[in-house]
Amino acid sequence: MLILLINKTQITVVMKNFLYHSSKNSFLYFLFGSILLTCNTISAQKKEMMIRISEIEIYPEHLSQYNAILKEEAAASVKLEPGVLAIFPLYQKKDSTQIRILEMYRDNDAYQSHLKTPHFLKYKTTTVKMVKSLNLVDMNTIDPESIKMLFRKMGD
């Protein structure tokens, strides 16, 4: 049944031909194999969440202004962009010029879209001379289910 819903015309023809030329047991093997193949194909097409940590060093004389601009950009990104799951700016306790931003996007398309938004472009152009260094570190999650629990828990 599942296979018929995915591509009804082609599967129906294949099933009729297979039934005509095969035994019931062979058909069951064919059916289960097709379901497994279909499930693997669908899961392979699922887009992967994009997670990044931005490591940024700010010139001390620009720190206050940079933080204000970053706070505005992060809030606008999460509020206005459905594909932005989190933009969470942090700084090191021992050195406040060392900024880290945890960025989480629904997928790479959401990230690419984010780069073109007016609020991100404003952030990039107004802070370019404030940034001493920038390192972008792409990450993978060890336990994707824990992210779902985190967001659910934050809603409580």
Digitized pLDDT (tens) for each residue of the chain, 156 residues in all: 333 344 444 444 444 444 444 455 555 455 445 554 444 444 444 688 999 999 999 999 999 999 999 999 999 999 999 999 999 999 999 999 999 999 999 999 999 999 999 999 999 999 999 999 999 999 998 887 887 777 777 776
Same domain, 87 and 134: yes
> What are the residues whose beta carbons fall under 8 Å from the beta carbon of 80, sequence distance 6 or more?
117, 119
Range of the domain at 85: 50-139
Same domain, 55 and 25: no
Is-above-0.85 flag for pTM? no
Return the amino acid letter for 24. K
Torsion of CA 39, 44, 49, 55, to 10 degrees: 150
List the structure tokens of 78.
Answer: 């999460």
Same domain, 124 and 65: yes
Same domain, 56 and 116: yes
> Looking at residue 46, what is its pLDDT?
60
Same domain, 40 and 87: no
Per DSSP bridges, beta strands 50-58 and 131-139 are antiparallel
Same domain, 73 and 102: yes
Rg of the Cα trace of the chain? 24
Same domain, 29 and 73: no
In a domain, 57, yes or no: yes
Residue 98 three-state SS: strand
Same domain, 68 and 133: yes
The answer to whether 133 touches 95, Cβ cutoff 8 Å, is no
> Looking at residue 118, what is its pLDDT?
97
> What are the residues whose beta carbons fall under 8 Å from the beta carbon of 54, sequence distance 6 or more?
99, 100, 101, 103, 134, 135, 136, 137
Return the amino acid letter for 89. P
Q: Which of 42, 52, 34, 45 is nearest to 110 (CA)?
A: 52
In a domain, 12, yes or no: yes
